[in-house]
Chain A
């Protein structure tokens, strides 16, 4: 069964600090992995996409990593800002046709001043 597990479920950090969110998956055959940011009351917005051959990809203060061998991804946030407070959702896509998207439960991040 395709599954995506995220950790931690929630995280509180002080403004300016760094943090790393984890995503482990069992989706097969793997196509790509996306990290989405979901602000409260809004729909998720894509941050990065990782394909099988990519190990690291950055988008501003967000850096995603992918280890296809261990089926793990991380999202590192540098110099956190209050606006980073949101849920971060890991979504893995399988290569077979159709809607084979598997969503993680998300990590709820709160950045405090």
Chain B
């Protein structure tokens, strides 16, 4: 596609459930980032994939969060045993190295 695609656009889940968020980056972009944006807050870095290198997971807030990127393209962010504080917009971005980021429209996650 022409841009970064994220799905679902909205996800409502119950506390304790697992959720999986998907990101389709722009074709050819080797860099992929996940960020989290809580209401009224700035962007919080979660994880970064660059080509075949080991991902930088330094931003993941707990071991309930994990992400993978299959075949250097699609990425999934998984949150296990969701908590209410996980409620936020999860943004995915991709880029060519050193170039500007192209963001998806995000997944609004609401944990009840």
Q: Report which A residues bind B (CB closer than 8 A).
A: 31, 34, 36, 41-46, 49, 89, 91, 93, 98-99, 101, 103-106
Contact = CB atoms under 8 A, between A and B. Distances in A.
B32 to A, nearest CB: 10
Nearest to B41: A105
Interface in B83-112: 91, 93, 98, 100-106
Interface of B: 4, 31, 33, 35, 41-43, 45, 48, 50, 56, 91, 93, 98, 100-106
A99 B56 contact: yes
Contacts of B41: 105
B100 A49 contact: yes
Interface of A is mostly: strand
Given A89-B42, A106-B42, 17 more contacts: A31-B98, A34-B100, A42-B103, A43-B104, A43-B106, A44-B43, A44-B101, A44-B103, A46-B100, A46-B101, A91-B101, A93-B98, A101-B33, A101-B45, A101-B101, A103-B42, A103-B45
Interface of B is mostly: strand
Most chain B C-beta atoms within 10 Å of own C-beta, residue among A36, A42, A99, A101: A99
B50 A42 contact: no
Given A89-B43, A99-B56, A43 B48 contact: no
30 contacts: A36-B101, A41-B105, A41-B106, A42-B103, A43-B93, A43-B102, A43-B103, A43-B104, A43-B106, A44-B91, A44-B103, A45-B103, A46-B100, A46-B101, A49-B100, A89-B42, A89-B43, A91-B101, A93-B98, A98-B48, A98-B56, A99-B31, A99-B33, A99-B45, A101-B33, A103-B42, A103-B45, A104-B42, A105-B41, A106-B42
